[in-house]
Amino acid sequence: MSDVAVATDQEEIPKHGELVDERLVKWYFLAALTYFFISLAGGFLMAFQLIRHNSLDGIELLSPGRWRMVHTNAIAYGFLANAFLGMLHWVIPRLTLQKVLDKRLSMFIFVAWQVVVVSTAVGLILGHAQAVEWGETPVWIDPLALVGLLLVAINFMSPIVKMEGPLYVSLWYFTAAFVWTFLTYAMGNFVPQYYVSGSSAGAVGGLFIHDLVGLFVTPLGWGMMYYFVPILLKKPVWSHGLSLVGFWGLAFFYPLQGIHHFLYTPIPMFLQYGAVMSTIAVELVVLTVVINFFGTLWGDGKEFWENIPIRWFYTGMVYYAMTCFQCALQVTLTFQQLIQFTDWVVGHAHLVMFGVFSMWLMGVMTYLFPRLLKTDWYSRSLCEWHFWLSAVGLLVMAGDLTLAGLFQGWSWMGMMEWNHSYNISQPFWVTRIFAALTILGGQLCFLWNLYKTWQLAPTEAELSQATAAV
């Protein structure tokens, strides 16, 4: 298993051991996986409700409406944020050859972030959601989350500032993500809540939704790819010039496009047109990034099949290109008339959040767990099952919801009664359950494989004995 073998570079191990807090990386990954499963529980509850099967009906605390918010929040702040933080604790010290600011601060942030995520879930389940899409975090948690993001930025910026020499592309993206995430969270959670209302609040809400994806998840995701892909392929990224285009294009165009979530609303039309134009611009820009990565893979196509983390990464990139293509259609006012408020959007959301960023993070975990546990994966076939069930399940789910969205849109445009669109959605929503079970199956394979691998891992005592012997 060349792709998931343990690092054995003798020169690197002592340095790496001083720099990287591996225990913390493991904790972050485990926390991320825990929230992933909690999120799936929320997704299933809502999905069954939509096909009129809710065996928990009448239990307020398990209401699908509340658990839908747990589903999305647990994915964003529980799974993605924790997995990214774990990855950053590995990558930043290795790239900068500097430790994070303070180990105790890292521990504090880990605990504080779990308190934020768990309190958010409890707040949502108890019915204290804030009326801001993607910012449902109860209002009393917002200041804590913001302080948490500030501490994260301080802790990781310290090694970046101390580092000597030019900044790697990954570090540009990470640095930008620390600043943008803080600002985005502050804008989205405080401005509509306390300072503006009506269509102005809608405009800010649109910016917030989109910037969460574009200025928090996207820069962390691409920064991660710029680090792991060249390492795994053992060659530099194809074009440094295209990396520059990708980064600055994202920085310039992304923040202008949030209002495309609220086309055909009372928000002034010049803002809606501006959002459409900048969305088209950003699509061209992100495609340059995808081209750059495929240029990097050129000549090493066999790695896609042999190297499982590379397969996760590039499949995510294919899904990324697909979402960009969808965006090109859905951002036009003409197409919006058909798909607005339909399941097309839900399909698009799954394609981006699971198909792209979660796939990349799964690839990173597949690569890093054997290094963290100092042993190979227990089973390569289970790694394969994890990949294929996830990739195929997601493709079916996204395709199914995209089609459902088109049929719903046609039903509404044909002025059919509301129930008509609900009834024609049923077969699609049943199919979604099967696709979701496939995805769940993939994650269970991963969990079992991880459990068995952990059992094979040497203990601390065995490791120190081995080091002493060397």
Task: Output the smallest distance, CB 42 to ligand HEM, in A.
Answer: 8
CB of 274 to ligand HEM, least distance (A): 23
Of the residues 72, 243, 257, 272, which one makes contact with ligand HEM according to CB under 6 A: 72
Cβ neighbours for 267, distance < 8 A, ≥ 6 positions apart: 199, 202, 203, 206, 259
Neighbouring residues of 111: CB distance < 8 A, sequence distance ≥ 6: none
Residue in 110, 230, 118, 222 with CA at minimum distance from that of residue 175: 222
Question: Among all chains, which residue has been given the structure tokens 């893979």?
Answer: 297
- Tell me which residue of 280, 279, 295 sits closest to 241, measured CA to CA: 295
Task: Report if residue 403 touches ligand HEM, rule: CB under 6 A.
Answer: no
- Quote the tokens at residue 70: 């747990």
Q: Which residue type occupies 124?
A: L
- Residue 106 CB, shortest distance to ligand HEM, in Å, is 25
| Smaller CB separation from ligand HEM, 82 or 358 | 358
Interface region with ligand HEM, contact rule CB under 6 A, candidates 119-127, 145-153, 353-361, 418-426: 353-361
Q: Does 354 bind ligand HEM (CB under 6 A)?
A: yes
Q: Quote the CA–CA distance of 26 and 8 in Å, as a whole number.
A: 19
Interface with ligand HEM (CB under 6 A), residue from 116, 191, 440, 450: 440
The set of residues, in sequence order, having a beta carbon less than 8 Å from that of 377 and lying 6+ positions away, is 1, 4, 366, 369, 370, 383, 449, 453
CB neighbour class for 193 (10 Å; exposed up to 12, middle 13-18, buried from 19): middle
Shortest Cβ 385–ligand HEM spacing (Å): 15
DSSP character for 61?
G
Question: Is position 350 an interface residue for ligand HEM (rule: CB under 6 A)?
Answer: yes
Alpha-carbon torsion (115, 116, 122, 128), positive or negative: positive
Residues in 418-437 that interact with ligand HEM by CB under 6 A: 436
Determine the Cα–Cα distance for residues 373 and 89; give it in Å rounded to an integer: 16
19 lies in the site for ligand HEM, by CB under 6 A: no
Of the candidates 3, 28, 71, 365, which one interacts with ligand HEM according to CB under 6 A?
71
Is 293 a residue that touches ligand HEM (CB under 6 A)?
A: no
* Residue 226 CB contacts under 8 Å (≥ 6 apart), including other chains: 168, 169, 170, 173, 237, 243
Comparing CB distances to ligand HEM, the nearer of 89 and 348 is: 348
Q: Is 364 in the site for ligand HEM (CB under 6 A)?
A: no
Count other Cβ atoms within 10 Å, centred on residue 456: 12
Give 251 or 345: the residue with its C-beta nearer to ligand HEM: 345
Q: Is 124 in the site for ligand HEM (CB under 6 A)?
A: no
- Contact range with ligand HEM by CB under 6 A, out of 38-46, 300-308, 378-386, 405-413: 38-46
Nearest CA to 443 among 370, 372, 388, 405? 388
Q: How far is the CB of 87 from ligand HEM (least distance, A)?
A: 16
Asked if 261 touches ligand HEM (CB under 6 A), the answer is no
Range in contact with ligand HEM (rule: CB under 6 A) among 11-19, 68-76, 151-159, 269-277: 68-76
Among 68, 210, 260, 386, binds ligand HEM (CB under 6 A): 68
Identified binder of ligand HEM from the candidate list 154, 163, 201, 346, rule CB under 6 A: 346
- Taking CB under 6 A as the criterion, the residue among 24, 35, 38, 43 binding ligand HEM is 43
Query: Which among 66-74, 103-111, 329-337, 369-377 is the span making contact with ligand HEM, rule CB under 6 A?
Result: 66-74
Distance of alpha carbon 42 from alpha carbon 68, whole angstroms: 6
CA distance readout (Å), 306 to 196, 247, 372: 53, 30, 21
Q: Are 144 and 116 in contact (CB under 8 A)?
A: yes
Q: Which residue is nearest to ligand HEM (CB)?
A: 43
Q: Which of 22, 34, 37, 44 binds ligand HEM (CB under 6 A)?
A: 44
Report the interface residues with ligand HEM, using CB under 6 A. Answer: 40, 43-44, 46-47, 68, 71-72, 75, 345-346, 349-350, 353-354, 358, 436, 439-440
